[in-house]
Amino acid sequence: MRRRVVVTGIGMVTPLGSEVETIWKNILEGKSGVARITLFDASNFPTQIAAEVKNWSIAEIGENPDDWKNQDRHTKFAVGAGYKAMKDSGLLDASFDRERFGVYTGAGEGEQNFSHFTQLVTAGMNDDKTIDSARFIAKGLEILNPIQEIEQEPNLPSAHLSAMFGACGPCINCLTACAASAQAVGEAVELIRRDDVDVMLSGGAHSMIHPFGVTGFNLLTALSKRNDEPQRASRPFDKDRDGFVIGEGAGMLVLEELEHAKKRGARIYGEMVGYGCTSDAYRITDIHPEGRGAASCMTMALQNAGIAPEDVDYINAHGTSTSLNDRVETLAIKKTFGDYAYKVPVSSTKSITGHLIAAGGATELIYSLLAIRDNILPPTINYETPDPNCDLDYVPNKPREAKCDVIMSNNFGFGGQDASLIARRFTD
């Protein structure tokens, strides 16, 4: 018998705000977080729009910004969301066994600052265009900050969270592209199920809104170029979609063994019941054209939860707004759910928030848990022109009041990484 796992705390830092109820209100009102890029001069880039976190500081959680000047944006987002989740759970100052408390994140790398490298090369270059290693090293010792270099590592958010909350159990980070934080949550659930820990702080954080990140996705022709209409650019499943909109932020959840949560009278957002994780085993940048990995991942999650497809009330789709993803995800849902695929509501909150990359899975799971709480389904905004290849119920443009006891949240990443999570309304 596996132990039951429930969600007792949630926290986010997103392009729609940093307070859960404000974010959820903006989701339901379809208020897009996409605008022109301000974090760097993108005027010469093919894509000049993104969903940035604005008007937020780590001071919001009582931290001195000067103490975090060497940390990248993604780490500060993770710490902010983690603090909010811990406070929301009631565990922030509670007495419990910290040896059985761990952290599992799906966090990306920090900002790739190549200006320093350019300075090093310029300073170390001889007249014949070769590098004088002594000058190169001397310049490096002069301008490089070793702490800032270390802080770009993707495991640093989990390390800071572990230290901040005294989590002495497993401290793990996985970076599986857009599936990262969904996979992190799924693996964290498994740690509790098999009695390795009682509590896990899990989720993800990422920021790729920098020249290197935007350049990379532009070279892959993955980003929308609808620069004159930022808020209408992310349009999953719409026939006129032209790519995704990159976003940033963090989402963290407190996962807790049921009896541990009940003993302290914790509020429960929902129970985690299903997890599937597969690989397309195909191409690095393309998902399998027949949705092989996505379909098997959803099937695995259903089997893991011990439920039938007809038991699912809502699917929060990966729904990136790229031509290939939306078509193939639709196909994979049909393969998994059969005729019921045409009855189950499917929506993509990326239409509102943009794509938070490694943080997408955790934030979208939180939106799905709030859908359970309120019996209301978030919309897919900017859905205007139906695509014959995308013919499911995408909850177009407006939220929908509906029975919502069981949700599935999908995330599929570059490299063929697939993760599906299933949560349900908690009943004792």
| pLDDT on residue 149 | 73
| pLDDT on residue 108 | 87
| pLDDT on residue 86 | 98
Q: Which of 100, 13, 99, 103 is closest to 52 using CA atoms?
A: 13
- Tell me the two tokens of residue 305: 């939860």
| pLDDT on residue 117 | 64
Give the residue numbers annotated as catalytic, written as ranges. Answer: 178, 318, 355
Q: Which of 39, 67, 66 is closest to 51 using CA atoms?
A: 39
Q: What is the DSSP letter of 177?
A: G
| pLDDT on residue 113 | 64
| pLDDT on residue 153 | 83
- The pLDDT tens digits for 244-257 are 999 999 999 999 99
Number of H helices, E strands in the chain: 13, 14
| pLDDT on residue 145 | 76
Query: CATH assignment of 5-111+152-424?
Result: 3.40.47.10
Give the torsion sign (CA, 17, 231, 221, 48). Answer: negative
Give the predicted TM-score (pTM) of the model.
Answer: 0.94
| pLDDT on residue 115 | 64
- Tell me the two tokens of residue 111: 């900002």
| pLDDT on residue 143 | 76
- Tell me the two tokens of residue 252: 């963290």
The residue ranges of the chain whose pLDDT is under 50 are none
| pLDDT on residue 147 | 77
Query: What are the structural domain ranges in the chain?
Result: 5-111+152-424, 115-150
